[in-house]
Amino acid sequence: MDRAEEIGTAARALVEVFLKGHPEFRAATGFLDQIQIFAVELARWGARFNLTAAPDDPAELAFHLLDSLMPLVLFARNPKDEFANSLAAGERVLDLGSGAGFPGLILAASSEAEFVLVESRRKRANFLRIAIGAMGLSNVKIDSQYRRAFVQKFDVVTARAFARPAEFYEVAITAMKPDGIAMLYASERQRKEIETIFGENGQAAMFYEYEPPRIASRSNQDGDNLAKHLIVISRRREES
């Protein structure tokens, strides 16, 4: 077993331990195997492609894997939630600025929706293609050109660390269907900014709060990462 495989195995174990504390979330068959494969590929290519700050740290990888997965964990607690089926089979999802695959590739591995991951940086797009092939995912495509990806409209547009909230919503609205959903990963310190955006346009957003995944051996436990995280979901409404 080489170093990348050791990292992947350790990251999988951390993810598995965390998910055991959330029994309402039932991972798809083969999900943990795919997560392990992804972590191996990220450890193998991370430094070369500048994908993430610590590609050789299983705890850091597990943190990003679990944080990406949180919408599905939260919805599993309340299957009657208005947005609980946002990532169900038949839905088309656009992930903006996919980077190393967080959250789009992880959500794709754990749901039956069809995903398009938009990543304009060549090395990162190449990594995503490598990871998709290794994981055997058939519900994901990569596009390196934003406007080309928007030709067909999407049921859901999501992003994590893509841009400032205002820019995300400006881009997302051009890609959503008339009744589409925007799903933004955000931090507590961005709450006021997001509330201001929706206050100005008279629309509503749902703020789902959660504690960031606590990984005991994770090295980067600074104050910002320990603050509450948010999944902000809003539905596009056509002006009357």
The domain ranges of the chain are 67-235
Residue 219: what pLDDT?
53
Phi then psi for residue 180, to 5 deg, are -70, 170
Instruction: Give the model confidence (pLDDT) of 61-101 as tens digits.
Output: 999 999 999 999 999 999 999 999 999 999 999 999 999 99
In the CATH scheme, what architecture does the domain 67-235 have?
Answer: 3-Layer(aba) Sandwich (3.40)
Residue 210 contacts residue 229 (beta carbons within 8 Å): yes
pTM of the prediction? 0.92
Neighbours of 71 (CB within 10 A): 24
Answer with the residue of higher pLDDT: 224 or 128: 128
Residue 66: what pLDDT?
96
Is 225's pLDDT higher than 90? no
Mean pLDDT of the chain: 90
Residue 188: what pLDDT?
93
pLDDT interval class at 224 (50, 70, 90)? very low
Is 141's pLDDT higher than 80? yes
pLDDT interval class at 240 (50, 70, 90)? very low
Q: Are strands 154-160 and 92-96 parallel, antiparallel or unpaired?
A: parallel
The Cα-based distances of 235 to 65, 97, 205, 208, 232 in angstroms read 26, 21, 8, 14, 10
Among 41-55, 142-156, 171-185, 192-206, the range of highest mean pLDDT? 171-185
Is 223's pLDDT higher than 80? no
Assigned token pair, 217: 């051996």
Residue 11: what pLDDT?
97
pLDDT interval class at 55 (50, 70, 90)? confident
Is 180's pLDDT higher than 60? yes
Instruction: Give the model confidence (pLDDT) of 181-212 as tens digits.
Output: 999 999 999 999 999 999 876 578 999 999 98
